[in-house]
A and B are shown apart, each in its own frame.
Chain A
């Protein structure tokens, strides 16, 4: 009894997703009987995706409305693109865009190549015990939460107390407060990003390096190629497809600066430099309650992300014949 009802529900949810033509054919009942257990297993997952993944997508229409919680999403009045035009006209837009793009750019030109370089260096290690030990060590920071990383940063750079505060200020002969000085915000963020992510990022490149055809190296040695030219002419071209795919994935994340990392390092003194789209959405939406405006900002970010990832993929297919979809 219960099962039959659940199977019906599964059918109903399933019907939402299946195109009309198929629905008519499936509605006969024979299909349901045959697949009823599978649909029953599917039901919780379908409900999850409808509620927590597609629900917010439909909820994002409040970006085009003046959402009043009392009136609900349906009852709130439409305002069209007003929130978007307000946002683009406000000084916040350029400030957020610049802050976000600078961090993304630093990531792309410092953190990303560093990952590849460390993978290449690890690949050149002959003693496998050293290689394994180094790998074990550099993967650790990946598993620590951003809260822990931020706390470590606070302790290490603490004013007049942290070890790196003493070390760097000793070398520079100045007195910089790294945690609140806006000029140093990006350096600290990059340091965190590199410390936490570089080691782990090498995994994918090491896997690509392991599959490079060894015979090519032997042939190159016979031709008198040195170590550097082997890396340049054999290793790098061999892992190029992997590099391109990782770059495409990074492109989709350009505006995704990592909410937790930035939020945890933001304070009232560095706020102007620190604010990125995600943290701005939080401060405006959650702490100040402008739901519609902040949703518009978030939606803008999400749409740009989709455009970037498909754009990068298209470029890569065009010039490299490889893409991720």
Chain B
């Protein structure tokens, strides 16, 4: 405690501290304000958006924008699609990654080291967009949801960190399971995976955010607009001025600007709901990576 006082108790130091707090709080606010503006706008009337350049609280509260997107088949379809693809995709990607990480964590597995080197190589070099597109096309995955899940199924970075985690688990647990007659597959499922829940949760979140936020894969692989995910829908609504795809009934004029605000909010909502977990697990995952890598 004495040291703390000694360290900062000069007048210049205090002035700096005050400015530092003000500056950083301002930076924190900048990170949030654009989002708060959109949130306020999504609950405002068309007239208010048109007349007030900036506000964080609507004068008149309106749910028109949300009503009109929820009545749009295209929007609801995109939302449901995205939720399903994210849920199924995350499960598949996590299982594939864990299944591959386990054998690789065995240092006595013949061929394991070479395989690991070949995996690391894919982190610095890849075939590129067009050859990957052609592989997806040749496999007949264009215009299927598999195209959003399989090409990114195993992230080499996540794979290596999970492998490292498996490696430092106590060997005795596995050995006792094997003595009880379980094969490696059973051991992985009933001993290793339950022990690795926190790490698996971290990478489940990595994968889930990756799929939810993915724009490039649907852009490349889905031509059929009825299959679009939320990100594609959002792009269509905010970049294009044409809102006809939202209008099932042409006689009704949807609140054009408000819709943009509302779709952004819905596309961000799950991220914000899970944000406390995301922050904790992502920071952990990133530091795990930096220590090992």
Residues of chain A whose beta carbon lies under 8 Å from any beta carbon of chain B: 14, 17-19, 22, 26, 31, 35, 37-42, 44-46, 48-49, 51-60, 62, 73, 118, 121-122, 124-127, 130, 133-134, 136-148, 150-152, 154-156, 161-163, 166-167, 195, 199, 203-204, 207, 217-218, 221, 227, 252, 259-260, 263-264, 278, 281-282, 285-286, 291, 294-295, 298-299, 301-303, 305-306, 309, 324
- Which among B102, B135, B286 is the interface contact of A56 at CB below 8 angstroms? B135
Indicate if B87 sits at the interface (CB-CB under 8 A).
Answer: no
Specify the chain A residue showing the minimal Cβ separation from B182: A37
Interface residues of B in 29-44 (CB under 8 A from A): 29-32, 34-35, 37-38, 41
Chain B 259-293 interface 0/1 with A at a Cβ cutoff of 8 Å (1 = within): 01101100110011001001100110011001001
Q: How far is A142 from B282 in the complex, measured between Cα atoms in Å?
A: 11
Asked whether, in the complex, the Cβ of B135 is within 8 Å of the Cβ of A52, the reply is yes
Asked whether, in the complex, the Cβ of B37 is within 8 Å of the Cβ of A140, the reply is no
Residues of A within 8 Å of B131, CB to CB, are 55-57, 59-60, 62, 295, 298
Q: How far is A49 from B155 in the complex, measured between Cα atoms in Å?
A: 10
The 10 closest A-B pairs by CB, nearest first: A56-B127, A45-B100, A298-B128, A145-B213, A59-B131, A137-B28, A56-B131, A163-B54, A37-B184, A38-B103
Indicate if B24 sits at the interface (CB-CB under 8 A).
Answer: yes
Asked whether, in the complex, the Cβ of B216 is within 8 Å of the Cβ of A19, the reply is no
Known pairs A17-B118, A155-B260; A125 contacts B24 (CB<8 A)? yes
Asked whether, in the complex, the Cβ of A49 is within 8 Å of the Cβ of B103, the reply is no
- Which among A51, A121, A152, A227 is the interface contact of B34 at CB below 8 angstroms? A152
Known pairs A145-B231, A299-B128; A121 contacts B20 (CB<8 A)? yes
The size class of the interface chain B forms with chain A is 35 or more
Sample of 6 more A-B contacts, CB < 8 Å, known A73-B134, A138-B31, A145-B212:
A35-B103, A49-B118, A152-B38, A166-B54, A285-B133, A286-B220
Asked whether, in the complex, the Cβ of A295 is within 8 Å of the Cβ of B38, the reply is no
Residues of A within 8 Å of B286, CB to CB, are 203-204
Interface residues of B in 128-147 (CB under 8 A from A): 128-135, 139
Interface centre among B28, B30, B124, B272 (most CB of A within 10 A): B28
Asked whether, in the complex, the Cβ of A306 is within 8 Å of the Cβ of B102, the reply is no
Asked whether, in the complex, the Cβ of A138 is within 8 Å of the Cβ of B28, the reply is yes
Known pairs A18-B110, A26-B110; A52 contacts B151 (CB<8 A)? yes
Interface residues of B in 201-248 (CB under 8 A from A): 209, 212-216, 219-220, 231, 234-235, 238-239
Interface residues of B in 97-117 (CB under 8 A from A): 97, 99-100, 102-104, 106, 109-111, 114-115
Residues of B within 8 Å of A204, CB to CB, are 286-287, 290
Q: How far is A286 from B278 in the complex, measured between Cα atoms in Å?
A: 34
Known pairs A60-B127, A137-B29, A291-B130; A227 contacts B13 (CB<8 A)? yes
